[in-house]
Amino acid sequence: MAKLRLASYWAAACGGCDVAILDTHEKILDIAAAADIVLWPIATDFKYADVEAMPDGHIDVTLFHGAVRNSENEHLAKLLRAKTKVMVAFGSCAHLGGIPGLANLYDRSQIFKRVYHETPSTVNPENNEPQVKTVVPEGELTIPEMYDTVKPLNKVVDVDYYLPGCPPTPKQIWNVVQAIVSGQLPPKGSIVGASEKTQCDECARKKNDKKITAFQRIATAQPDPDACLLEQGFMCMGPATRGGCDSRCMISNFGCRGCYGPAPGVVDQGAKALCSIASVIEAKDEAEIERITAEIPDVLRTFNQFAIPSSLIVRKVL
Amino acid sequence: MTFEPKIVGILCNWCSYTGADLAGTSRIKYSPNVRVVRVMCSGRVDPTFILKAFADGADGVLVAGCHPGDCHYIEGNYKTIRRMALFKRMLKDYGIEPERFRLEWVSAGEGDRWAAVVNKITEDVRKLGPTKIKPAARKKVAFSAA
């Protein structure tokens, strides 16, 4: 069998997905044996022009990390889509919008104002802001245009598979690579490298009746390592989140943040997580409920940390 | 043309839906702006339903159930109170004006109260104008009860 041609690209991402690929350790050598890498900006020196020169459908698989947040991200998403047979939205940002998607609570002008004028570490006496085009004596310089709204990959191009996680676990990456190499792929549009259960279903902690009388924060309290975190009042998105990560956060004594995305059948992860967690607050009196829920400082970002750009309402009304 | 708010009402079967029915049979005149969806209990109302209504273009959403203590299923509406207390804050974080969403208690005998509740939210939303959620910010999804 001919070697696969593999691309791994980062758009609006932190690089953690690439590190997760490297975290397959010595199996990375097996990946290299099975596939020729044709683009991998974090590790190799191929240029965009090399991709542009390829015939359509030349790349067998693209692992696309990161959300689409600027014109460069969008250009590469469309370019790689044209050149690729199997497009994988790899990681929470490509799958759902991810952490960069929290920028949808602002727009570009608010972000520029904060970053280039207001932050204490910024010195900007001439009030400069990034410009898409700048004329200098040597010619015209251009940088990509940043958008107001962050999008998941499937809002920009057709996506064949989704591999969730922030980042996906190396074990699941390896499972998916094996499935690709052996050609045993599920129907198009499937979520791969994850389970069909919720996080709670897979979590090994002891679970009893859930009655929350106070919300705790990890900064100020130490959770019991064996009991359900929610029952102890620590935020955990387990009830509404898809499983498959081997309970990474709960094993580390930390509540699930929701990075594997909505559980099967869940339309809006943030609303569903809020629904299930609010219902087990142990109070009937409105003032008492207000007092208990006041411990949650930031509702939307707590319950929907990774999926705002793919939720029912994808951005804040400004 | 004057703006007529489109408001989605999600009503519990036992109290509020019957109360709305009473308003009708008592021939009380009130705003015709609420489109009613009947559920068995206000405790069935997943915040997803409300976001879905806003995403589909509703200018306002009204959830109505039995008064606390009167729930047909004993505790269903206490779950509603807990969820909606938090959900109101989520709507605020989305930048949706608080007047566009109301949780109200209407018993089977309160046809006049139902009319007053509907008139109140209709006038509040009319003052705010049409939904400010841009079509590009709404996700369309086919929805099966999950």
Instruction: List the single range of A28-32, A308-312, B28-32, B72-76 with lowest mean pLDDT.
Output: A28-32
Kindly report whether the global pTM for this prediction surpasses the value 0.90: yes
Query: Smallest Cβ distance to A278: which of B54, B82, B136?
Result: B82
Quick: pLDDT tens for A128-143: 999 999 999 999 999 9
State how far the Cα of A11 lies from the Cα of B17, in Å rounded to an integer: 50
State how far the Cα of A275 lies from the Cα of B86, in Å rounded to an integer: 9
Place of tokens 């130490």: A222
At residue B104, the 3 state secondary structure works out as strand
State how far the Cα of A132 lies from the Cα of A130, in Å rounded to an integer: 7
Does residue A281 belong to the interface with chain B, where contact is any CB pair within 8 Å?
yes
Q: Can you give the three-state secondary structure of chain A, one letter per residue?
A: CCCEEEEEEECECCCHHHHHHHCCCCHHHHHHHHEEEEECCCCCCCCHHHHHCCCCCCEEEEEEECEEEEHHHHHHHHHHHHHEEEEEEECHHHHHCCHHHHHHHCCHHHHHHHHHHHCCCCCCCCCCCCCCEEEECCEEEECCCEEEEEECHHHCCCCCEEECCCCCCHHHHHHHHHHHHCCCCCCCCCECCCCCCEHHHHCCCECCCCCECCCECCCCCCCCCCECCCCCCECCCHHHEECCCCCHHHHCCCCCCCCCCECCCCCCHHHHHHHHHHCCECCCCHHHHHHHHCCCCCHHHHHCCCCHHHCCECCCCC
State how far the Cα of B81 lies from the Cα of B68, in Å rounded to an integer: 9
Quick: pLDDT tens for A36-55: 999 999 999 999 999 999 99
Please tell me the distance in Å from A276's CA to the nearest CA on chain B. Answer: 8
Spell out the long-range contacts of A212-216 with Cβ–Cβ below 8 A and sequence spacing 24 or more. Answer: A212/A277, A212/A280, A212/A281, A212/A282, A212/A292, A213/A281, A213/A282, A213/A283, A213/A292, A214/A292, A214/A295, A215/A292, A215/A293, A215/A295, A215/A296, A216/A295
Identify the H or E element spanning B124: helix B111-128
Residues of chain A within CATH 3.40.50.700 domain(s) are: 4-99+150-181
Of A305, A276, A259, A22, the closest CA to residue B146 belongs to A276
Domains of chain B plus CATH, in order, are 7-135 (3.40.50)
Q: Cα–Cα–Cα angle for A96, A195, A181, nearest 5°? A: 85
CATH number of A4-99+150-181: 3.40.50.700
Average pLDDT, chain A: 95
Per CB-CB distance under 8 Å, the chain B contacts of A149 are 136-137
Quick: pLDDT tens for A215-239: 999 999 999 999 999 999 999 999 9
The tokens describing B64, both together, are: 């109505």
Please tell me the distance in Å from A223's CA to the nearest CA on chain B. Answer: 24
State how far the Cα of A95 lies from the Cα of B65, in Å rounded to an integer: 37
Whether A233 and A210 have beta carbons less than 8 Å apart is answered as: no
Q: Is the pLDDT of residue B89 over 50?
A: yes
Residues 286-315 of A with CB under 8 A from B: 286, 289-290, 293, 296, 298-301, 303-304, 310-315
Per CB-CB distance under 8 Å, the chain A contacts of B138 are 312-314
Identify residue A193 by its one-letter amino acid code: G
State how far the Cα of A38 lies from the Cα of A258, in Å rounded to an integer: 32
CB contact under 8 Å between A267 and B143, yes or no, is yes
CB contact under 8 Å between B141 and A267, yes or no, is yes
Q: Is the pLDDT of residue A180 over 90?
A: no
Residues 141-180 of A with CB under 8 A from B: 149
Interface test with B, best of A285, A312, A318 (most B CBs within 10 A): A312
- Cα distances from A246 to residues A171, A193, A202, B62, in angstroms, run 10, 11, 7, 40
Specify which residues A133 forms β-bridges with: A142
Per-residue model confidence (pLDDT) at position A282: 94
Query: Smallest Cβ distance to A299: which of B55, B78, B90?
Result: B90
The tokens describing A74, both together, are: 């969008």
Please tell me the distance in Å from A271's CA to the nearest CA on chain B. Answer: 5
ipTM, two decimals, is: 0.94
Specify which residues B39 forms β-bridges with: B12
Does residue B136 belong to the interface with chain A, where contact is any CB pair within 8 Å?
yes
Give the distance, in angstroms, between the CA of residue A148 and the centroid of all CA atoms in the same chain: 18
Please tell me the distance in Å from B54's CA to the nearest CA on chain A. Answer: 8
Q: Is the pLDDT of residue B14 over 90?
A: yes
Q: Is the pLDDT of residue A126 over 60?
A: yes
Does residue A38 belong to the interface with chain B, where contact is any CB pair within 8 Å?
no
CB contact under 8 Å between B47 and A271, yes or no, is yes
Rg (CA), chain B: 15
Number of inter-chain CB pairs under 8 A, A vs B = 109
Per CB-CB distance under 8 Å, the chain B contacts of A315 are 137
Per-residue model confidence (pLDDT) at position A1: 57
Find the farthest-apart pair of alpha carbons in chain A and give their distance in angstroms, rounded: 71
State how far the Cα of A82 lies from the Cα of A74, in Å rounded to an integer: 12
Residues in CB range of A238: below 8 A, 6 or more apart:
A198, A199, A200, A203, A229, A230, A250, A255, A256
Please tell me the distance in Å from B26's CA to the nearest CA on chain A. Answer: 32
User: How many residues are present in chain B?
Assistant: 146
Per-residue model confidence (pLDDT) at position B146: 47
Quick: pLDDT tens for B17-60: 999 999 999 999 999 999 999 999 999 999 999 999 999 999 99
Quick: pLDDT tens for A78-118: 999 999 999 999 999 999 999 999 999 999 999 999 999 99
Quick: pLDDT tens for B106-141: 999 999 999 999 999 999 999 999 999 999 999 988
In which band, very low, low, confident or very high, does the pLDDT at B145 lie, cut at 50, 70 and 90?
low
Please tell me the distance in Å from A200's CA to the nearest CA on chain B. Answer: 17
Instruction: Please tell me the number of Cα atoms within 13 Å of A134 on its side-chain side.
Output: 11
The tokens describing B53, both together, are: 């209504």
